[in-house]
Structure 1
Amino acid sequence: MKQGLSLRVSQHLALTPQLQQSIRLLQLSTLELSQEVEQMLDDNPFLEVGIDEAPREEFGLSHADTQVSTEDRESEYATSTTSSSTDNTGSDSQMESESPLSPQDDNQNWEGDGTSEIAPDDSEWGGDAPPRTNNNESDGEVDATELARSQMSLTEFLHRQALALRLSEEDRAALRFLIESLNEDGYLEDSLEELAQSLAEPDDELEEIEELQHRFTMALGLLQSLEPVGVGARTLEECLTLQLRALADDEAEEEQEQIRVAAINMCACPMDLVARRDVKRLASQCRTSDTVIKAALGLIASLEPKPGRRFVDVERNIVIPDVIVTKVGRGAQANFRVRLNQDVMPRLKVHDIYANALKQHKGGGRDASVNAALQQRLQEARWFIKNIQQRFDTILRVSNAIVDRQKNFFTHGELAMRPLVLREIADELGLHESTISRVTTAKYMSTPHGTFELKYFFGSSLGTETGGNASSTAVRALIKQFVSSEDPKKPLSDSQLSDMLKEQGIECARRTVAKYREALRIAPTNLRKAL
């Protein structure tokens, strides 16, 4: 084998840590970005939230190395002291215990405090933001999370009712165990035999297991007598039956009682017949008239299939828009202004005190490795701030491009939405399609017609008779409009909807109509038909 040297030129893309962080921040939602910022504030000492009033345009690089005069420092101290004394009027003891430091004490601190010398680059890295405060200290404001946590759960509600029952220790323990075994919908998924087996010891005899199962049977009857009605059911049929039996009224009219009994009998039939509202077969199996079956179906539809639904502590995610679009002007001169939501923008800056202390400290020997590590952390803070600013700049650019192309939507609504794909915005802004996809995912825009995800404004096109294109979003809105105005006794089929779209000049097949209808969560014809 002969060895030799050769030169070869090649190109490859290297994803630096800064670029990887930029891509990752771009695809995060507002909530995820907030969590990322909190984590970075905890991990990086050079990063802090800007709370001082320091507009960028008034703080140029030409003044970065200018020394602050002694008169200015004394004036600043006098102003802060006067403000502090004014706020604490009438509480002398508190003023004595929380008196500010004197100028002499301030001079004893280490010199790199950010007031005598400011790093040229660090001053340009952050904006301003109000200080983070606790909601408990605000005037009458209550945290929504605390309100959600204060909601009583289903198990707590049932335990409180069980305290009012006069039971023996064994029965109370059995009832408590059944309550804890319910799922979030209020159903008892495991059979009583399985629950008894789970509590039985390996050496227990069969009689002891049967005794435990008997205890659970008695406790189940008590559980199903509690509120909400239907709790403790094993199946949907049992849940509906419990609610129907609770509707029994001795003073009810004969017709109403007949409907209730028919509904109970229907719960004993296969539930797919009830779901399909097969009136003929239900009337045959329940041996009653079609009129009674239709009324019984209406009664069943008014029941609650999930008794524990209102007790579920569902995390309510409030959608906070990243971009706000407002209308400017009237009539033909109307225009739309796009701006970022300042409430979701983290205002970060490099900690001047720590940054300048690191700049003035020149360690050697053993301190060289520590100094290099701190320099790296400082650079990470700068890159993090830059990537966040770049993230919001990209969101604003994409939002402006969307608004320019979808002006008809902002003026007339979703029926005027035009077809739009990611490639059009990518070509206009000189970005990659994957970047547009990351920007439009989990980012929201507040518009005069509501709050929508940025991806909502993109949709495929359907051909029209005139040779133009119609947006799939507009077609879905048109289908929703047709269904909302239909006759409940004669609902429109998918074929009829397809024909109505053709009358509007939009070529849309029946299968496409069915797909759009399912996406809109509109039931098929047989389930929309009024009985």
Structure 2
Amino acid sequence: METKLTHKLGQRLALTPQLTQSLKVLAMNSMELENYLEESIECNPMLDMDQGSFTPPESGAQEQRAIEMDEREQWKEQGDNRWETLYSSSSRDSMPDREQLWQGEQNLGDSLHEQVDRQPMNDIERELAHAMIDSLDDDGYFRNDPKEFAAEMAEQMTVDSEMVETVLTQVIQQLEPAGLGARDLTECLLMQLDGESEIDLWVQRLLLHFPLELFGSDADLAKKAECTEEMVAQARARMRRLDPFPGHGMHGDNNFYIRPEIIFRRTSGNEIEVEVPASGWRGIRLNEQWQTHEWKGKDKDFMSQAMKEAKWLLHALDQRSETLMKVALCLAQRQRAFLEYGVLGLKPLTLQDVAEEVGLHESTISRVTNGKFADTPIGMIELRRFFSAGLPTRGGGTISVYRVQQRVKALIDSEPVGRPISDQAIADRLQAEGIEIARRTVAKYREQLGLPPSSQRRRVAKSR
């Protein structure tokens, strides 16, 4: 072992606090940025919010309430007490906002647990019922074998297959909506029939005794079931009103809120106008009260550092707005057809293409577009949707991968019933249209679209 000093020449990238903060601000969307700035204002005394520099989102609601109050006063002068009656018990100001209403919505799983809690049963059965609800799949079916499920629950409670079967039929399958807890499609549909009307009785008979004939013609089914074709038609119509997937929404979805970072508008002259909308953070500024104050001792060092951080933050915000505008103008020019006609007008465009045009690094463009949305003439879309890889065409140009995917989907959707086309046939068709594509590429796009292979589509067609 030996200790010695040596000189070494090399290069390394060091992220300064300013650069780190700039990259962090650039990667945030509007909602995240406003939360971050609220925390910054609370921690940094040199930052302040100028409430008069921007129009708050609730200004429209305030104006509406002002108009309503004026109307209310007019009704008072005319001797009408309808406004007083309407606002006696509650007012618009006391009503919960939309966010609170959304937060209060229940998913199906929570509703089922509440229904179980309201039913009379012993503790073991109740605990077992809750466990069985959690084991339902996304379609609302109970796919577990009672014996295997009882064995899995043996460590938590003393149950057997008979108790599982009892709780399933007497508790789970009695919950709303009807059809939950079924073990197969036929049972699910039968559980949704009331068993009293004549049509429901015929549907029940057809499902139990003629399951294969249901995929045939009305005449053949009526002959085998010994009924009229009109009755078969009514039974089919009744079956179409049944829900084969009653568990949709079982696990619920978390609400998330979108605020556009960029707005693309189509002007009267058929031009695309670009705007980076103003938000609450546009009113952030340096605190004038403490900016001119003379500090001493440790307070001076603290406030000096706070001033530097505040200026870094304001500079990062300016850079963010400038970068967004550059990227927005580039996207408006390169993807004009996409903004006018939708996905059919999407052209091949990569992050590197935009980075070279606006003079920024590709990683910067990635931070600008990741997780952010734009309000366009064709709706609210993610900025990532503006980018698409390209496939070469016979004429020497390129075509968007997304357009090719949509073309593959259109060919599969329009295939003859019972005669699905193979991936090779799709590739041959696209090549005839001038798109250079291989069979394995078609298979990859088909899988990305969630479409089954031709063999599986053929089996499904035969079963129908």
How does the TM-score come out when normalised to structure 1?
0.63
Given that 2:141 and 2:184 are in contact with CA atoms closer than 8 Å, whether structure 1 keeps it comes out as no
Give the counterpart of 1:241 among 187, 190, 209. Answer: 187
Aligned to 1:180: 130
Could you say what secondary structure the match of 1:462 adopts? strand
AA paired with 1:221?
T
Report the number of matched residues: 398
Greater Cα offset, 373-382 or 249-258: 249-258
| Structure 1 CA distance for aligned equivalents of residues 98 and 34 of structure 2 | 17
Q: Deviations over 1:486-528 (max 9, x none)?
A: 5455444433332332232111222222222332334444438
Aligned to 2:392: 463
Aligned to 1:374: 303
Aligned to 2:261: 322
Aligned to 2:293: 360
Aligned to 1:198: 156
1:309 aligns with 2:248: yes
User: Which protein shows a greater Rg?
Assistant: 1
**Long gaps (5+) in structure 1:** 56-89, 91-135, 200-208, 266-276, 280-287
1:404 aligns with 2:333: yes
> Residues 43 and 492 from structure 1, CA distance in 2 versus in 1: closer, same or farther, beyond 3 angstroms?
farther
Aligned to 1:439: 368
| Structure 2 CA distance for aligned equivalents of residues 346 and 252 of structure 1 | 64
Given that 1:174 and 1:216 are in contact with CA atoms closer than 8 Å, whether structure 2 keeps it comes out as no
- The sequence identity of aligned pairs, in percent, is 30
1:336 aligns with 2:308: no
> Residues 141 and 311 from structure 1, CA distance in 2 versus in 1: closer, same or farther, beyond 3 angstroms?
farther
1:256 aligns with 2:203: yes
TM-superposed deviation, 1:349: 1.5
Aligned to 1:527: 457
> Residues 46 and 163 from structure 1, CA distance in 2 versus in 1: closer, same or farther, beyond 3 angstroms?
same
AA paired with 2:346?
M
Greater Cα offset, 344-353 or 399-408: 344-353
> Residues 31 and 239 from structure 1, CA distance in 2 versus in 1: closer, same or farther, beyond 3 angstroms?
farther
AA paired with 2:98?
A
1:227 aligns with 2:181: no
> Residues 301 and 502 from structure 1, CA distance in 2 versus in 1: closer, same or farther, beyond 3 angstroms?
farther
TM-superposed deviation, 1:22: 0.9
Note the 1:87-126 alignment, pairs <5 A: none
1:145 aligns with 2:99: yes
| C-alpha RMSD of matched pairs (Å) | 4.3
Aligned to 2:49: 49
| Structure 2 CA distance for aligned equivalents of residues 30 and 39 of structure 1 | 14
Q: Deviations over 1:35-76 (max 9, x none)?
A: 322322332233232212499xxxxxxxxxxxxxxxxxxxxx
Could you say what secondary structure the match of 2:51 adopts? coil
TM-superposed deviation, 1:5: 11
> Residues 321 and 4 from structure 1, CA distance in 2 versus in 1: closer, same or farther, beyond 3 angstroms?
closer
1:387 aligns with 2:326: no
Given that 1:175 and 1:222 are in contact with CA atoms closer than 8 Å, whether structure 2 keeps it comes out as no
TM-superposed deviation, 1:387: 0.9
Given that 1:322 and 1:344 are in contact with CA atoms closer than 8 Å, whether structure 2 keeps it comes out as no
| Structure 2 CA distance for aligned equivalents of residues 260 and 313 of structure 1 | 31
Aligned to 2:403: 474
| Structure 2 CA distance for aligned equivalents of residues 510 and 36 of structure 1 | 48
TM-superposed deviation, 1:23: 1.2
Given that 1:25 and 1:33 are in contact with CA atoms closer than 8 Å, whether structure 2 keeps it comes out as yes
How does the TM-score come out when normalised to structure 2?
0.71
Q: Deviations over 1:71-94 (max 9, x none)?
A: xxxxxxxxxxxxxxxxxxx9xxxx
Could you say what secondary structure the match of 1:451 adopts? strand
Aligned to 1:116: none
Aligned to 2:86: none
TM-superposed deviation, 1:479: 3.0
AA paired with 2:275?
R
1:28 aligns with 2:7: no
Given that 1:174 and 1:219 are in contact with CA atoms closer than 8 Å, whether structure 2 keeps it comes out as no
| Structure 1 CA distance for aligned equivalents of residues 95 and 424 of structure 2 | 54
1:418 aligns with 2:350: no
Q: Deviations over 1:176-208 (max 9, x none)?
A: 323433327567778345445424xxxxxxxxx
TM-superposed deviation, 1:346: 4.7
Aligned to 1:350: 286
Given that 1:462 and 1:506 are in contact with CA atoms closer than 8 Å, whether structure 2 keeps it comes out as yes
| Structure 1 CA distance for aligned equivalents of residues 91 and 326 of structure 2 | 38
| Structure 1 CA distance for aligned equivalents of residues 340 and 45 of structure 2 | 48
| Structure 2 CA distance for aligned equivalents of residues 458 and 214 of structure 1 | 57
| Structure 1 CA distance for aligned equivalents of residues 380 and 108 of structure 2 | 33
TM-superposed deviation, 1:322: 0.9
| Structure 1 CA distance for aligned equivalents of residues 112 and 375 of structure 2 | 42
TM-superposed deviation, 1:465: 1.6
